[in-house]
Each structure stands twice: as structure tokens, then as C-alpha cells.
């Protein structure tokens, strides 16, 4: 990336690790350190959000230009020159995360015990920016994180189903973002660059049903753009049969403010009504919600009693 682009990312709070990876402290990590609440992933799945490392192994690389994306978009889809080793990426990201946390040592509102724990992340969200399936050693990255006794949440746009098919090291939880009920809406909202698009996302949905890890389909709901066609969303979800479905309202933050308006943000009530209709059509159960994040969790009926993550100490040495 150009030095001007890297400087722009640093001003936004990114810490660069190696040649093509980065971390950024999540909004909810900061809030928990100050005792102001927890993220919906902690509420729903039992992670410790103050110990969560939000990272990307593909800084500045994605094949979609979603209109609702809050990230800095100077995307390049081409391969990564000089690919960093997975273990080096993990080490670099943990060091970068610790550098970002140093400034909180002088904040009197921060819980000192939580800050100490935050320096030893046990959860990694491979979701910060870019499309992680573009990183050629994604399985090795997941393995390196697991070897460090870290849970992994992998979020993908689903346009590289063959990567998911050949993953030998699976994440703790795999998300596929399905942000349209039909190919026309997908083209308009997600603006794919290159030949990868709707057909590949549908293939990934089908791959999802056969994976041996916790699985999620996430619907980011943008009012006026993609909240129609609930029946079509239900058909897609039933094809993938994920353990969980997340219906989450779009937030007008970051660089999405140059493309969207406040009126494109559905209220939590609207998200809840939409999710209830999806539950009726799929047979999933409305399990929980977090109003602050405008998100509703649906759970497949056969897994509703085993939603929470195991503790990290359950990892075998």
C-alpha cells in the first residue's frame, strides 16, 4: 500500500503488523475496559471481549466494495506480494495489540485487572478489513492462533468457496455474510470487483452445511436497500443450515458516511420484526438480542442448549 494510505489507516487506529496484516482495538474492547458494557459476541457466545484481538491478514485487499462498509476502501484484489508466515503474523498482531493498549495504562477509569488480561488475548476475530480468504495460508493462520490457545471467529464474504472447502484447520466459528436476497440486490449493494459474486456466495452457503465447526450466516440489514425478500433469505439460510443466524442493523460509521444516510439505519425494533419473520420461515428460534448493537440472534433448534463457547482452559495442552 502507498505510504499515504498507511498513514490514513494509522490515524484511524490501525496498527500495522508485518507487510499486509493489521489490528485495531474494537469499540467494545475499550468500553469493557472502562466498565461500560460488553459486545454482543460476549453476550451471545461467551467470549471475553476485552481479550479479543480484531485483525486482518489482508490489509487493503477485498473483491467487494459494499456500500455499507465502514472500512477504508482502496481495495486491491490481486495477490499479496511477499506473503508473511502465519506464525509471524500472529506474533506481530499480538505485539501490535499490546502497543495499542499501552495508552490505557494512564486512564483512571480502566479496570487494571482487565487491562492486564487484555494483553493476553484468547480470542481472535479475523474480520477487521479486507477478505481473509485472499490470504493463501489461512488454515495455517487459524492453526497458529489455536496453538496459542485462542478461539477464532472467521468472517468471510463467501466469494471464495474453494478456500472453505479445503480448510483443514477450521475456526471456532465461521461467519458467511449474506447481505442480499437475490443477485440483483447483491450487485447493487456489494459492487463486486472481478468475476466473483453471487454464484460463489451461494456455493459457500452450501459448503457451510458440511463444515465441522460452529457456523453463522450474518445478514447486515440496510434500510431501503436489502430488507425485502425475507422469504428468499430464509431459503438461503435453510440451504446453509448454520447453527446461528445474526440479523444486524447497518451502522452509519466510518467511511460508509460518504455513501449512506442515517435513514438507512433500521431501528432495533425493525431488526427484531424482520428477524421474527425469518424465524417463522426457517423454524429457527429467536434466542437473544442486544439493543445497543441492533442485533438479534437466531439459533437452530437442535443447538439452542449449547450456545456458549467452552472456556479457553478446555483446550488440551
Rounded CA gap, 133 and 130, in Å? Answer: 9
CB atoms within 10 A of CB 34: 15
Selected residue with higher pLDDT from 74 and 237: 237
Averaged pLDDT for residues 27-31: 93
Report the pLDDT averaged over residues 127-151.
95
- pLDDT at residue 213, as a whole number: 94
The pLDDT value recorded for residue 315 is 43
Span 185-206, average pLDDT: 94
Separation of alpha carbons 95 and 92, rounded Å: 5
Confidence of residue 278 (pLDDT cuts 50, 70, 90): very high
Torsion of CA 29, 253, 164, 40, to 10 degrees: 40
- pLDDT confidence bin for 11, thresholds 50/70/90: confident
pLDDT bucket at 2, cuts 50 / 70 / 90: low
Has residue 201 got a pLDDT over 80?
yes
**Fold of the CATH domain 3-304:** TIM Barrel (3.20.20)
What is the rounded average pLDDT of the residues 102-117?
Answer: 93
Domain ranges of the chain: 3-304
The dihedral through the CA atoms of 189, 142, 204, 282 has a sign that is negative
Higher pLDDT, 117 or 254: 117
pLDDT at 175 over 60: yes
Residues paired with residue 177 on neighbouring β-strands, in sequence order: 218
CB contact set of 233 (below 8 Å; sequence gap of 6+):
178, 181, 219, 278
pLDDT at 317 over 50: no
pLDDT at 254 over 80: no
Which triple of cell numbers denotes residue 195?
Answer: 468475476
Predicted confidence (pLDDT) at residue 312 exceeds the cutoff of 60: no
Amino acid at each position: 500500500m502507498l505510504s499515504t494510505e498507511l498513514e490514513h489507516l494509522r490515524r484511524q487506529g490501525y496498527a500495522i503488523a508485518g507487510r499486509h496484516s493489521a489490528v485495531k482495538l474494537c469499540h467494545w474492547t475499550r468500553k469493557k475496559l472502562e466498565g461500560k458494557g460488553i459486545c454482543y459476541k460476549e453476550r451471545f457466545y461467551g467470549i471475553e471481549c476485552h481479550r479479543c484481538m480484531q485483525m486482518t491478514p489482508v490489509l487493503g485487499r477485498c473483491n467487494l466494495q459494499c456500500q455499507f462498509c465502514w472500512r477504508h476502501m482502496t481495495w486491491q484484489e490481486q495477490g499479496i506480494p511477499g506473503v508473511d508466515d502465519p506464525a509471524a503474523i500472529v506474533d506481530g498482531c499480538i505485539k501490535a495489540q499490546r502497543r495499542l493498549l499501552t495508552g490505557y495504562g494512564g486512564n483512571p477509569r480502566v479496570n487494571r485487572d482487565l487491562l492486564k488480561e487484555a494483553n493476553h488475548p484468547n480470542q481472535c476475530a479475523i474480520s477487521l478489513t479486507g477478505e481473509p480468504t485472499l490470504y493463501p495460508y489461512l488454515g495455517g493462520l487459524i492453526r497458529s492462533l489455536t496453538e496459542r490457545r485462542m478461539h477464532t471467529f472467521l468472517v468471510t464474504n463467501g466469494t471464495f468457496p474453494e478456500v472453505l472447502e479445503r480448510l483443514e484447520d477450521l475456526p471456532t466459528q465461521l461467519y458467511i455474510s449474506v447481505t442480499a436476497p437475490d443477485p440483483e440486490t447483491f450487485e447493487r449493494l456489494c459492487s463486486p470487483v472481478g468475476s466473483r459474486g453471487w454464484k460463489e456466495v451461494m456455493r459457500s452457503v452450501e459448503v457451510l452445511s458440511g463444515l465441522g465447526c460452529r457456523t453463522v450466516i450474518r445478514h447486515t440489514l440496510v434500510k431501503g436497500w436489502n430488507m425485502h425478500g425475507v422469504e428468499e433469505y430464509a431459503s438461503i439460510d435453510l440451504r446453509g443450515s448454520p447453527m446461528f443466524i445474526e440479523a444486524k442493523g447497518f451502522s452509519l460509521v466510518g467511511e460508509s458516511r460518504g455513501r449512506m444516510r442515517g435513514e438507512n439505519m433500521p431501528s432495533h425494533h425493525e431488526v427484531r420484526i424482520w428477524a421474527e419473520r425469518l424465524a417463522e420461515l426457517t423454524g429457527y428460534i429467536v434466542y437473544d438480542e442486544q439493543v445497543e448493537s441492533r442485533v438479534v440472534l437466531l439459533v437452530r433448534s437442535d443447538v439452542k442448549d449449547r450456545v456458549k463457547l467452552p472456556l479457553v482452559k478446555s483446550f488440551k495442552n
